Structure 1
Amino acid sequence: MFTDSHCHLSFPELRAQLPEILNAMSQAQVDRALCICTTLEEFTDVHSLALAHGNLWSTVGVHPDNEGVQEPTLDDLLSRAALPRVVGIGETGLDYYRLNGRTVADMAWQRDRYRTHIRAGRQTDLPLVIHTRSASEDTLAILREEGGFDSMDNTSPPRSRGVFHCFTESEAVARAALDLDFYISFSGIVTFRNAIDIKAVAQFVPLDRMLIETDSPYLAPVPYRGKTNNPSYVPFVAQQIAELKGLTVEAIGKATSANFDRLFTQVAAE
C-alpha cells in the first residue's frame, strides 16, 4: 500500500538492522522503498541493496552537503545510472544552511555539481531527487536554466523531471516546483506539532503531485520523533497527510504509490 520514496538503508545504523527493518516494512504494508545515494563511494552499497531485494531500488548522486568526497563527473553518473535497478539521479541540489563562514558566492562548487546532476538526469531521462535548504531561489533558477524548459528543439534531451524531497520550503516554492511539473515529497516533519507552515503546504499540494518519505534514519515522525527512523514509519506521514486533506490513510497510500510509479517509470515497468 505504501511507498517510501526516500531513505538511506545503506547508512550503518539501518544496514545493521536490515532484516528487522524489511520485516517491519512488511508488517506496516510498506511495499517498496527507494534507497538514496549520497556519495559515489557509497554507491556500491546502495546499489547492492537494490540488487538483493526485489522491493528496493537505488539512485546515484552526490549530496550537496558532502565535501571531501569524489566529485562526480557526467560520465560517473551516466555509467552508474545505466545499471539495473538505478531509477533516479541524486540526491542533488543546493544547501546554504551551513556556510561555516563562507558566502553564497563561495558555494559555486555546489552549483557546478548540481548542474552536472541535472545534465545526467536529462541525458538518461531519469528523475532528479532534489534537496534544497536555504537555497530555493538558486535551486529553481539553475533547474530552469539547465532543465530544458525553454528549449523548442526536438533533438535536445528531454527536459528535467523529478521530486523536491523532504519539502520544508514555502508555498511559493512549492508552486514554482509544481509549475515545472515536479513532485513534492513530505517527510516526518509534517507530523511535528510546530510544523504549521509545512502542514499548510501539504494541504496546498495536489494529491496527484505528492510523494511521502521517511528520509530515514533521520526525522522520525510522531510518535517516534527523536528515535532512529526507518521505512516502516512512512504510514505515519501518510496518516498526517490524510488528516490534512480529509481523506483515508489508504487513499493517501494508494495515490502516493501511484505517483511514485508515474515518476520513477522504471520501477513501474519491472
Structure 2
Amino acid sequence: MTQPALFIAHGSPTLAIEDNAYTKFLKQLGQEILRKPRAIVIFSAHWDSPDQYVTEDTHHQTLHDFYGFPDEMYNINYPVPGDPELSREIGSIFKNNNLPFLMSSGRGLDHGAWVVLRAMFPNGDVPVVALSVDSRRSPEEQYAIGRMISGLREQNVLVIGSGGLVHNLRLLGDNKSIPADWAVEFDDWVGEQLVNWDLRSLLQYEKKAPHVRDAVPAYAKEHIVPLLYAMGAGDNDRIARKLFQEYQYGSLSLNCWMFGGQDIKI
C-alpha cells in the first residue's frame, strides 16, 4: 500500500483544544480518508537543528514546548510508540546518500508533531519516527532529504511535514479578522507552484514569492521548510492537491497539501 506525503499546518498550539472546521478536517483526514499507515515519519518545524536527527525511541513522551496557554493544554498527553526498525532503515537511507545524521532518544514529540497527529490518529496506535529540519539548509537540500525517503511511502509509511506557510506572529490580528490580502496572495503563489510542480520557481520562493518577508520572517523561517521536505517525499509522483486552506487571526494560514495519493478520494 502506497501512502501520500502531506504538508499540514499546525497553527497555534491551541489547535489541540479547539473544535472548528480545521480540526474537523484533520479528524476526517486521519480517520476516514487516509488508509491507516503502518507508521508515520514526521518533520516538525519545532525541531530545527543543523544536525539531522532521527528518533529511535520505542515510546514517545509528549513535549509541552509552549508558554502562557490554558492550563488544560499542559495536561494533554499523546504517548505514541516509536518504530526503531524504521528508524534504522531511515539511518541506512541517509548513510547511503552521504547525509550525516544522529540518532536521538528521549526527546519526546514537540507540539508541531503531536497536536496534528493527535487530531488525525486519536488512539495513538500508529508508530511515529520524528525527524528534525534545518532551516539553514538551502531549499534544494531540504527537498532532497525528503526525496531520499520517498520510497518509504510504498511500504505504507505516511510522511508528514508539519509547519505553516504564513507564520508571522507579529502580524496577527484578532481571531475574527478577515484573511489579509498579502497572506492569501503568498499562499496562492505557493499553491500555483505546487500544482504545476514548478521546482525552479518554488525553490527560489525567497526571491520570487509576493510578500515573502511578511509571510516568512527570518525569525520563523523554519515553519515553511517542512513543506519542502514533504514535497520531496512526493517527488516520485509529482502530483499536488490542496485539501484545505483557511486562516486564523487574519494571516495564520491553516492549509493541508497532499503529494501523491491520487487514488485517495477527497
TM-score (norm 1): 0.30
Q: Which has the higher contact order (CA 8 A, sep 6+)?
A: 2
TM-score (norm 2): 0.31
Which of the two has greater helix per residue? 1
